[in-house]
Amino acid sequence: MNPQTIVKSSAPVGAPGRAAGPAGHRRSRSNRRAEVRLFSRLGHVALAVWAVIVIVPILWTFLAAFKNTTEIFSSPWTLPAELRWENFGRAWTKANVGRYFLNSVIVVGFGTFGTMLLGSMAAYVLARYKFWGNRFIYYLFVSGLAFPVFLALVPLFFVVKNLGLLDTHTGVVLVYIAYSLPFTIFFLAAFFKTLPSSVAEAGMIDGCSHTRLFFRVMLPMAKPGLISVAIFNIIGQWAQYQLPLVLLSNAKEKWVLTQGIADISVNAGYEADWSGLFAALTIAILPMIIVYAVFQRQIQSGLTSGAVK
């Protein structure tokens, strides 16, 4: 939208019309201009309305987080009379949002790290080494993309229970890793295939071991792909609700943020602590806005990468 491009452009667009000259052409051009104006005006209204629909509920939550219950009921649309930071304190400690937040960070941190490590190792071997059973293992992983998690939910609960991992973060992390492998391997195997083999060969001639070659040469080369998948996994695992609900049901102190917030919303009804709930929601949403503002481009491409492939 800078003036330079507009100046540059006016010549080629205007030229053919003027050169052709006939009145019919000119009229259709002005018609078209009117059409453009109407279309873009309507379009602007639609876009602005949708932006409001997206922003307002979130902004309204942030404002309500500073109000007290009376204000929430009497004047839901006004600014808070004063900034009641104690709402956040109550949500953070009494409602355990701080605990839930930390749990989410731990589970997603280990979960994504494990997924990336194991997923890239398997994807690399499956993409670049010929051995008996390679295709079978690859399709075994990829077929996991087609199965709904809910099909496995009951047996999964008992598998985790029999391993003594029920109500532990270890259990959740291992399950997250296992269920993130299909997409991670599917995506990364395609990525490793595109890397040039000349570098790998040079490494082998220099006496590099397979393991060293992978960690020192191939992984750094695959960085763009790794970042996309890592973002995909972080956001997916952060949003998980059904798996922790089943796997951590009896250990409230181990709950993750999604579980915790959903639980607080149930209890807010009994305790009539609406401002505490709004504060808890704000604590859950605000960090995502900050992370999104910083990594907006990477997040968009990371999340859509699955669909583009």
Of 276, 279, 281, 275, nearest to 258 by C-alpha is: 281
Question: Least CB distance from residue 198 to other proteins, whole Å?
Answer: 16
Alpha-carbon distance of 125 to 32, in angstroms, equals: 57
Q: Which of residues 203-232 bind other proteins (CB under 8 A)?
A: 204, 209-211, 214
53 belongs to the binding site for other proteins (CB under 8 A)? yes
* Interface region with other proteins, contact rule CB under 8 A, candidates 86-94, 189-197, 218-226, 233-241: 233-241
Q: Buried (b) or exposed (e) across 286-299, using 16+ Cβ within 10 A?
A: eeeeeeeeeeeeeb
Shortest separation between residue 123's beta carbon and other proteins, angstroms: 9
Site residues (CB under 8 A) for other proteins, limited to 89-108: none
Please report the sign of the dihedral spanned by the C-alpha atoms of residue 148, residue 151, residue 154, residue 159: negative
* CA pair distance 36, 13, nearest whole angstrom: 15
170 binds other proteins (CB under 8 A): no
Question: What is the nearest approach in angstroms of other proteins to the Cβ of residue 82?
Answer: 19
Q: For other proteins, which is the closer residue by CB, 40 or 194?
A: 40
The residues, any chain, with a CB within 8 Å of residue 199's CB and separated by 6 or more, are 217, 221
For other proteins, the closer CB: 93 or 265: 265
Yes or no: say if 195 and 222 are a contact pair by the CB < 8 Å rule.
yes
Q: Is 239 in the site for other proteins (CB under 8 A)?
A: yes
Spatial separation of the C-alpha atoms in residues 182 and 143, rounded to whole Å: 7
What residues between 278 and 297 interact with other proteins by CB under 8 A?
278, 281, 284-285, 288-289, 291-292, 296
Query: Binding marks (x or -) toward other proteins, 246..265, rule CB under 8 A?
Result: x--x-------xxx-xx-xx
- Among positions 14, 26, 46, 170, the unique one binding other proteins when judged by CB under 8 A: 46
Using CB under 8 A, pick the residue from 14, 15, 26, 32 that binds other proteins: 32
Q: Are 152 and 179 in contact (CB under 8 A)?
A: no
**51 near other proteins (CB under 8 A):** yes
Residue with tokens 């570098």: 199
Q: How far apart (Å, rounded) are the C-alpha atoms in residues 211 and 61?
A: 50
